[in-house]
Each structure stands twice: as structure tokens, then as C-alpha cells.
Amino acid sequence: MSLCCHANHDPSCPDVPVPPEIFSNVLQDTTKCKTKKGKKKKRVAPLAINRRTNSSESDEEDNGIPSPPPVNNCYLAKCPCETHLHKQLVERNYQLSVEKLFDLIFGDNEFVRTYRSAQRIYDDHATEWTINPQSQNRERVVTSKIPFVSVLGNSTISSTEKQVIRNEKKYSYYIVDNDIYNTGVKFGDTFYVALRYCLVQTAVNHSNLRITAEVRYLKTVIGFMKNLIEKNAIAAIQVSLQDLSIIDSI
């Protein structure tokens, strides 16, 4: 699973941002390690530990204390990409390490599960991150469903996200491409939405997230239909990304 977005919200059906309090308990259990004097140290749920092997949290010891970053940390002012996608949707700084930011967006943990559940996403399944032997990039596939409500009736949209880490350097940056294919949405067989997530560590415990997007076509589509599809698809993505602000509260 991931904290990524769906290009399948009905723009006519406004989404309600996820209330921060939903995450308060989850965040304490999964993203912070409380070691108050006299209090027994909270342990991360066994499930989370088991699944950490493919996430950045694998650097942490079982007691939840992060291992120290390497001395030769490579902080960057901006991501190493030569180009980005047409539409910039997010440009935001976080007071987090890039490893933690990556885990909050692409990890498999209770925070991500709660976030996606609050977005009404269900039947959520992510394959493990595995290395593509040809490209040597880490890849995975995320599938999920979301109810779709419109004036024409209720239905379900099925989403498949093909995620590829195009470039990564531990403690420095992660460049992740996410291609989102939807079925059950109007004209869903004619296009998909490409997203690029650029996560960069800019200083100690400071990182930057930039998300760019563009609509790509699988079939020939006439001009005015392209405009309609792009307007609605990008608007839907923007709605689903607005909840990324929840990370600010961490």
C-alpha cells in the first residue's frame, strides 16, 4: 500500500480532508518512539516489523531507535531529475528525514493504512518492492478499489498503480514514478495518469517533496475530449493529494 493518490475521485463529489485526529494514535504507535521515564517503551506492532524489510524503516532497530545517518550524508538543494512532468501539483518542505518521508508515502505501515482507509480506499494490496532484473530499479504494484458516487449512479472504481523507483540514494533522495490506471471510470480505458514523486533530503531532518503529473493516452482521443479528461483527472489527483498536509503534523 502507499499513501499515493487515485485519479478516480468524482470532482463533482467533494472529498472531505482527513481529520488529523484520526491519525494521532496511529502516529504515536508507528512513527514515534516514546521513551518516557518510567513508561514501558512502546513497541511497533509485529506486523509492521515483519514488513519493514522493504521499507526505509528497516534501518531502525527493533526498539524503534533509528540508526544514525552516515557521516557523508548527501544533502541536495533539489532533486537530480533533468525533467519533470507537465503539471506541478505539490512542492512542500517537511521537517523529516527523507527516509521517514518515503516510508510515510510508500511504506507499509499503520499510518498509510489509516490514511487510505480514511480516503474510502478498500481492498488495498501492494506487492513487495522487488528489483527489476533488467532496469535494476525497485518496483511494485498497488491495487485498490474506491466507491464512486455520481448523479448517474453509484459504482466502484478499480485502480492499479505501477510504481517504480527510478533513482534513489539512501539518506539523500528518492525519485518514484507512479502510473495510475483506472477501470470503472468514464474513458478509463483511454488514458492513465503519470505521477512523479521527488523526495529530497535538504538538511538534517528536513526534506522536500515535489509531485508532478501528466495525463497519457492509450488511444487516440480528439482535442476537446483530451481537455475534459485532463481537467477532471488532474482535479481528482489534486483532491486526493490535499491530505498530504497531514504529514506536517508529524
Q: What residues line the site for Zn ion (CB under 5 A)?
A: 79, 81, 198
To Zn ion, the closest distance from the beta carbon of 79 in angstroms equals 3
Q: Which residues contact 223 (CB under 8 A, 6 or more apart)?
A: none
Judged by CB, which is closer to Zn ion: 33, or 81?
A: 81
Least Cβ distance, residue 174 to Zn ion (angstroms): 10
Residues 107 and 56 sit within 8 Å (Cβ to Cβ): yes
Residue with cell 532497530: 61
> In the complex with Zn ion, which residue's Cβ is closer, 198 or 215?
198
CB 129 → Zn ion: shortest distance, Å? 20
Q: Please, which residue, 15 or 168, has the CB nearer to Zn ion?
A: 168
The answer to whether 156 and 145 are in contact (CB under 8 A) is yes
Judged by beta carbon, residue 117 or residue 167, the one nearer Zn ion is 167
Smallest gap from residue 81 Cβ to Zn ion (A): 3
Contact 115, 122 (CB under 8 A): no
> Among residues 81 and 235, whose Cβ is nearest to Zn ion?
81
- Helix boundaries (H) for the chain: 21-30, 46-51, 98-106, 110-118, 223-241
Distance CA 202, CA 113 (A): 27
For residue 90, give Cα distances in angstroms to 65, 209, 245.
30, 7, 10
Nearest distance from C-beta of residue 168 to Zn ion, angstroms = 12
